[in-house]
Amino acid sequence: MEQFSIWFKIGFGHIVGIEAQDHILFLVALCACYLITDWKKLLVLATAFTIGHSITLALVTFKVIHINTALVENWLIPLSILLTSLFNLFWSKQERPLMWLKYSVATIFGLIHGAAFSNQLSQLLNNNSKDWFENASKSSETSIAMPLFAFNVGIEVGQILIIGVLLFLSVIFVNTLKVKHFTWTTFLSGIAFGVSLSILLERTLQ
Mean pLDDT in residue range 18-40: 88
Whole domain around residue 9: which residue ranges? 2-205
- Between CA 75 and CA 80, with CA 78 as vertex, the angle to 5 degrees is 100
- Between CA 154 and CA 71, with CA 86 as vertex, the angle to 5 degrees is 55
Contact (Cβ atoms closer than 8 angstroms) between residue 154 and residue 9: yes
Strand segments (E) across 26-119? none
- Using one digit for the tens of pLDDT, what is the confidence trace for 81-113? 999 998 887 765 555 546 777 788 889 998 998
Contact (Cβ atoms closer than 8 angstroms) between residue 80 and residue 111: no
pLDDT recorded at residue 143: 66
Task: Check pLDDT > 60 for residue 19.
Answer: yes
- Using one digit for the tens of pLDDT, what is the confidence trace for 137-146? 444 444 678 8
pLDDT recorded at residue 196: 93
- Using one digit for the tens of pLDDT, what is the confidence trace for 150-190? 888 898 899 999 999 999 999 999 999 999 999 999 999 99
Nearest to 87 by CA among 70, 74, 104, 72: 104
Tally of structural domains, the chain = 1
Mean pLDDT in residue range 38-61: 87
Task: Check pLDDT > 90 for residue 28.
Answer: yes
Q: How far apart (Å, rounded) are the C-alpha atoms in residues 71 and 157? A: 27
Contact (Cβ atoms closer than 8 angstroms) between residue 162 and residue 32: no
pLDDT recorded at residue 25: 92
Q: Give pairs for 37-43: CB < 8 Å, separation 24+.
A: 39/167, 41/99, 42/163, 42/167
- Contacts for 65 with CB less than 8 Å, ≥ 6 apart: 56, 59
Q: How far is CA 197 from CA 52, 74, 189, 192, in A?
A: 23, 11, 12, 8
pLDDT recorded at residue 195: 94
pLDDT recorded at residue 114: 87
Q: How far apart (Å, rounded) are the C-alpha atoms in residues 195 and 204? A: 14
